[in-house]
Amino acid sequence: MLDALVIGAGPSGSRTAWNLAQAGYSTALIEEHERVGEPCQCAGLITPRTFDYLGYKRPILQEMNGARLWGPNDSFLDFQASETKALVIDRPDLDRSIANKAVEAGADLREGHRYLSHRRSEKGITATIQSKNGKIELETRLLIGSDGPASRVARDAGLSSKREVLAAFGADVEGYQGKDNHVDIFVGSELAPRFFGWGIPTGLNEGRIGMATVLPNRPKNFFRDYFHKGAPSKLLGGAKIVNRVSGLIPFGMRDPSYADNVLLTGDAAGMAKPTSGGGIYSGLISADAAFEVADKAFQKGTLDSKTLSPYQSLLKQRIGGELSKGYHLRRAFLSLTDDQLSEIISILGEPKVKEAIEKTGDLDYASLAAFSVLKAQPKLIKFAPLLLKPFI
């Protein structure tokens, strides 16, 4: 019988398995794809803080210290910070590196294995896994659902809840005329309704372009338009797609994210930030919290939901506040018309407001910039008075 069975070798699952194996618990890490990290479903943008948190670094393709914001009615802003705000990385490499750490610590990584279902057993949980050679059953004391946005573990454990899910579509392109060390962001109902589009330079004339939106809008159709109309087309004249990327981004922390003998981490637990859609950093935070609670529960000798319940408080304490401010910001953003968006972009260009963003802009903690922007220009509150109230 295993101590822990982790489903999904994304960043949050591998980090959890790494922690558990390092602490001496017998741990299996199950990944449905043949190779961890593939196919890639990410733009690969993280903060330098993420490497600090992880405890080691991986190769960086570009350091980002600026952003260009392209909005409705030809509104435009170019931000230039004095420090590195984000890093462009090779996401499959990151995923593999964390899974390798788990394996080095003693976890049993099984690629090409898909979790199908689980049932409760006398001593814990029996999970049914599909392997190339047929179905197998694994007995475990603790099941960890790190299986991403469409988590089956969450569903089977009765932890599914209604939440907003964005669909994203993008590509690696050759011939992208971005600006080195600058992220391009596209907003407005024509280009990216209800979220935003992005362009990230990755090398000489190369970049990652994409957009996310809320269904029934189809991200693929908007993405196709990027080559023909509006601000993105200016940067994509003659560009060629070399690799497509798509995926889902769920918003809304699952509460609870635990059940008898079950914990959820990362996207399965709703860790993606509603402001940027990023979920690597917050997923790692949830992985460490899951490990801490599991470790105590193992030592106590019981893994019932009551014993695992401190997990929710840890999530709330460590990242919940920022996620909840992010929902407020997202709702405020959703309430804006295109004309209001372009008006806001022109206000953000006022020197003191721009300076506030350049100083405090932070992908992981967007609420810091929101707060400093409202402080620098309180008239912005008129755009969503009730929703922006938590920031003043």
d(CA 236, CA 307): 53
Tell me the number of residues near ligand FAD by CB under 6 A. Answer: 38
Longest CA span, the chain: 65
CB of residue 306 to ligand FAD, shortest distance in Å: 25
> Is residue 267 involved in binding ligand FAD (CB under 6 A)?
yes
Do the strands 164-174 and 182-188 form a parallel or antiparallel pair, or are they unpaired? Answer: unpaired
**46 near ligand FAD (CB under 6 A):** yes
Instruction: Establish if 168 lies at the interface with ligand FAD (CB under 6 A).
Output: yes
Contact (Cβ atoms closer than 8 angstroms) between residue 262 and residue 309: no
Residues 75-134 that bind ligand FAD (CB under 6 A): 114-115
Give min distance, CB of 238 to ligand FAD, in A.
Answer: 24
Nearest to ligand FAD of 115, 383 (CB atom): 115
CA 141 vs CA 27, 138, 199, 235, 292: distances in Å? 10, 10, 44, 53, 16
Q: Which of residues 185-204 bind ligand FAD (CB under 6 A)?
A: none
How big is the chain, counted in residues? 392
Beta strands at 66-70 and 76-80: parallel, antiparallel or unpaired: antiparallel
Which residues in 204-269 belong to E strands, given as ranges? Answer: 206-214, 240-251, 258-259, 262-264
In angstroms, what is the minimal distance from the CB of 373 to ligand FAD?
Answer: 22
Query: Helix, strand, or coil here: 279?
Result: coil
**Helix, coil or strand: residue 366:** helix
Binding pattern for the stretch 227-266 against ligand FAD, x by CB under 6 A and - elsewhere: ------------------x-x-x----------------x
Report DSSP state, residue 90. Answer: -
| 279 touches ligand FAD (CB under 6 A) | yes
For ligand FAD, the binding residue among 3, 10, 187, 356 (CB under 6 A) is 10
- Per CB under 6 A, 7 contacts ligand FAD: yes
> Is 278 a residue that touches ligand FAD (CB under 6 A)?
yes
Which range in 188-196, 226-234, 273-281, 300-308 contacts ligand FAD by CB under 6 A? 273-281
Q: Does residue 277 interact with ligand FAD by CB under 6 A? A: yes
Structure token digits, residue 171: 């590509």
Which residues fall within 8 angstroms of residue 275, CB to CB, at 6 or more apart? Answer: 326, 329, 330, 366
Supply the minimum distance, in Å, between the C-beta of residue 251 and ligand FAD. Answer: 11
DSSP for 77-131, written as a single string: EEEE-SS--EEEE-HHHHHHHHHHHHHHTT-EEEET-EEEEEEE-SSSEEEEEEE
Under rule CB under 6 A, residue 331 binds ligand FAD: no
CB 239 within 8 A of CB 174: yes
Handedness of CA 253, 257, 263, 268 (dihedral sign): negative
Nearer to ligand FAD, 210 or 256 (CB): 210
| Integer CA distances (angstroms), 118 to 128, 129, 157, in order | 6, 9, 8
Any contact of residue 13 with ligand FAD (CB under 6 A)?
A: yes
**Closest distance to ligand FAD from the beta carbon of 231 (Å):** 19
Query: Smallest distance from the beta carbon of 34 to ligand FAD, in angstroms?
Result: 10
* Residue 31 sits in the site that holds ligand FAD (CB under 6 A): yes
Among 68-76, 224-232, 277-285, 304-312, the segment contacting ligand FAD (CB under 6 A): 277-285
Binding to ligand FAD (CB under 6 A): which residues in 130-159? 146-148, 152
CB nearer to ligand FAD: pick between 285 and 387: 285
Q: How far is the CB of 257 from ligand FAD (least distance, A)?
A: 12
Contact 66, 78 (CB under 8 A): yes
Spatial distance between the Cα atoms of 353 and 314, rounded to a whole number of angstroms: 34
Q: Buried b / exposed e across 94-104, counting CB within 10 Å, b at 16+?
A: bbbbbbebbbe
- Residue ranges that bind ligand FAD, judged by CB under 6 A: 7-13, 30-33, 41-46, 114-115, 146-148, 152, 168, 170, 210, 245, 247, 249, 266-268, 272, 277-280, 283
